[in-house]
Chains A and B, each alone.
Chain A
């Protein structure tokens, strides 16, 4: 498939419209019938600094970023010149060109804006061009844009030039621009798009290289979605109408999407003073009978530890979203990592439990967020959707029908006033909210909601009797603890039979296995294909249920192969540790392939890691990833 794809990288300065231009371009390619996958690279900086977005487009399914890319559009960083040239920014103007050469494949194409970038500033530029057989087009996009009034339209000019060189029909771009742009700026943009296209067609030999757009077709309508979109829509479709939060990258995206949409749906969004408050508000709203959520990233989630425990002890349903970024502490705010797994699993005091989902794809982010709400409200337990900056920010095409599901506003195990009347009450009149002889024997006692007649109870973070009064009775303690723990078995049973599953991929009777979780799933799938094409025999299990852990399914998988390589984006092999802890044996079959430099795995990392460490049993040649061999039981 690698020959039959366009991987287009647009580079420039933060704030120069790279994100919106690339989003439109990706959508145009999707509409033309291709599968697309976007990858964003950006620094923790608001304006200026080197940033890029990569779009991979192919007729075949695209599950990851791929390795390297074949088409560069380098625009100048307009903020590098301005406003404090000699102060902080220095001269970074050349970066959009210089910083991107390492990953450009042989035979690749470069368009750069000669109005802002001067290739002669890069020492060995010409040699590298020759060595790699790159095709370079220096176009004065800036001047072209200026002539039409606004310099920011350099982006559009660059897209026009790209279309001419890659053989992309302008019609798709025009259609999108017409949809997306207000009248006033549409005209000049369309003009400049055509002008750049025609100029390249007339003045250059566009067939001098063979990086061309493939053609494809979808059997059904597609939508371009990010993981953050999918999580927000999952929550909305599940009837969530209350969110409270405090901004922190990358969770902010989910918070923003919800805040922009909830009022129109008659819901409530609150930006509050801190993350402790945010989680506490979600609890308050849920206690009062609303489907509610909150969330954060590492440091903010740390503050939610106490409210999380309170939710469990008071059996108040709530959904928290945890968007991982590289830590510890503020770490690397805009870089992905999977280092918060243990934090999310174990934070909060005592024998506390929560349900944790870690979706592996954008599509799963939607279904599993819905599941997280169902479990939380059915079982009155906090549930968490754990994802990372990569999954949250990447845009991929998903069939629109995937979202064509009925809404589910059910509050789960909650009584109406009529049902409360028949429910058991203490002789004092208090409703037996926390009875341990639960009707289904699954640990769930249906709740009442404040304001309902006859349903009075006390929710407390202290250990309590069935009607909620604080108690330190040893007997009651054991009963209540067992009741809360009983839910976990019931949830495991439900998850095993519900079809919202861990993903199996590859040859069924393969010799070797990959075990991975969360956002790395697609990349591992691609590596599995490449390895099998190269004559190896491998398969993958992408686990998305972190707690309760799918012990049976993982055990079966480990037993079915000779060796398992566990792929995860952190330095301490947290997922492998979890697997060993939960399975309790076969530890010597597991080894780890780790990456924690701020970038996600690319398929080639995994292919190499497998070939070098498993097949050849050699030292790993790369410093990008780390191989940690079997630990034993």
Chain B
């Protein structure tokens, strides 16, 4: 019998199963877009029939990182910017786990930018949700990598002289195999996209537009939004890199100008995930590595039998 019997349990799951019985320490402001991510994630997990015991939610630091307090599952609330490397390794150790990483735009595109690039490049089989509110929320409203040019904050009183980062384009050039943008104000699309992202075999990146009414009062609240898949104005092939890239550019430019486009931008279902590649070249066991530590019949090899000859 598996040591991890919660994995693949497949019983009827209700979205309320993801609500902690404990009162979370209230940290999110009323009207915060983060509640939209929570709702979408609960809906998606329920739709997929994943039990809270087989999900590992790994977060960074920020208001976004508090997602763990509101979502019932195994959790690892890590350090600023470092959710991805923790999540990647957990998935390598036990590919049966449903691994989701989440954090803010400061967390994911700023301090954790290097990890973002490399996790996408390696195409780890996991989902990464970035709460993009174009601001540092938890540290009280400083400029973030996605804040628009000219954005004024206490640490940038003359306005930002920097171009905002383009998360969708960055994700594509880095190598993510599933890329979408959704918004807290668009709950049905958000849930559907997270379901797809979690089902996708490879690195799925969801740039999730979340409003921060506390610090980003001037920011567009991402309404009205356009769902590009529902609109006749935006016709492109999501499996074509070039077309996806152009669409992403258009979307990112539009957001700077006040038009919110959301939807799926790139889906590559053919590319094997990192886990599969690694197994193929013989660098990763077929059975989950973590299982082995609970298998009493497993014969552990040791250095004396394997390596000492070459030292004699």
Q: A-side interface residues toward B, CB under 8 Å?
A: 27, 31, 221-225, 229, 232-233, 236-237, 239, 241-242, 244, 261, 263-270, 272-274, 276-278, 280-285, 287-292, 306-307, 309-310, 314, 400, 403-407, 409-411, 414, 416-417, 426-430, 449-462, 467-471
Assess the A282–B89 pair: CB atoms within 8 A: yes
Assess the A453–B6 pair: CB atoms within 8 A: yes
Assess the B289–A451 pair: CB atoms within 8 A: no
The one of B53, B94, B118, B278 in contact with A454, judged by C-beta atoms closer than 8 angstroms, is B53
Chain B residues with Cβ below 8 Å from A460 are 68, 75-77
Give 23 CB contacts A-B under 8 Å: A236-B303, A242-B89, A263-B283, A263-B284, A265-B306, A269-B283, A274-B114, A276-B82, A277-B118, A284-B90, A284-B93, A292-B89, A306-B79, A400-B304, A400-B312, A405-B302, A416-B3, A449-B4, A452-B53, A458-B74, A459-B76, A460-B68, A461-B78
Chain B residues with Cβ below 8 Å from A268 are 92-93, 278, 283-285, 289
Assess the A452–B3 pair: CB atoms within 8 A: yes
The one of A267, A306, A427, A428 in contact with B82, judged by C-beta atoms closer than 8 angstroms, is A306
Q: How far is the CA of A1 from the CA of B258 in the complex (A)?
A: 84
Chain B residues with Cβ below 8 Å from A244 are 85, 89
Q: Which residue of B lies closest to A473 (CB)?
A: B25
The one of B22, B88, B96 in contact with A467, judged by C-beta atoms closer than 8 angstroms, is B22
The answer to whether residues A237 and B88 also contact, given A403-B308, A454-B53 and a CB cut-off of 8 A, is no
Please tell me if B31 contacts chain A, counting CB pairs below 8 Å. Answer: no
Please tell me if B56 contacts chain A, counting CB pairs below 8 Å. Answer: yes
Q: How far is the CA of A310 from the CA of B79 in the complex (A)?
A: 7
Assess the A276–B301 pair: CB atoms within 8 A: no
CB proximity of B115 to chain A, nearest CB, Å: 6
Q: How far is the CA of A229 from the CA of B96 in the complex (A)?
A: 33
Please tell me if B97 contacts chain A, counting CB pairs below 8 Å. Answer: yes
Chain A residues with Cβ below 8 Å from B87 are 284
CB proximity of B257 to chain A, nearest CB, Å: 34
Please tell me if B245 contacts chain A, counting CB pairs below 8 Å. Answer: no
The one of B68, B85, B97, B282 in contact with A272, judged by C-beta atoms closer than 8 angstroms, is B85
Q: How far is the CA of A261 from the CA of B306 in the complex (A)?
A: 9
Please tell me if B21 contacts chain A, counting CB pairs below 8 Å. Answer: yes
CB proximity of B82 to chain A, nearest CB, Å: 5
Assess the A459–B6 pair: CB atoms within 8 A: no
Q: Which residue of A lies closest to B290 (CB)?
A: A289
Assess the B89–A428 pair: CB atoms within 8 A: no
Please tell me if B24 contacts chain A, counting CB pairs below 8 Å. Answer: yes
Please tell me if B263 contacts chain A, counting CB pairs below 8 Å. Answer: no
Q: How far is the CA of A406 from the CA of B300 in the complex (A)?
A: 9
CB proximity of A510 to chain B, nearest CB, Å: 36
Chain A residues with Cβ below 8 Å from B137 are none
Assess the A284–B86 pair: CB atoms within 8 A: yes
Chain A residues with Cβ below 8 Å from B72 are 456
Assess the B74–A450 pair: CB atoms within 8 A: yes
The answer to whether residues A223 and B4 also contact, given A265-B301, A407-B301 and a CB cut-off of 8 A, is no
The one of A222, A266, A306 in contact with B285, judged by C-beta atoms closer than 8 angstroms, is A266
CB proximity of B151 to chain A, nearest CB, Å: 28
Q: How far is the CA of A272 from the CA of B87 in the complex (A)?
A: 13
Q: How far is the CA of A405 from the CA of B298 in the complex (A)?
A: 17
Please tell me if B242 contacts chain A, counting CB pairs below 8 Å. Answer: no
Given contacts A403-B304, A451-B53, A461-B61, 9 further A-B contacts (CB under 8 A): A31-B312, A236-B303, A242-B92, A273-B118, A276-B85, A277-B118, A280-B79, A282-B89, A470-B69
The one of B66, B290, B302 in contact with A288, judged by C-beta atoms closer than 8 angstroms, is B290
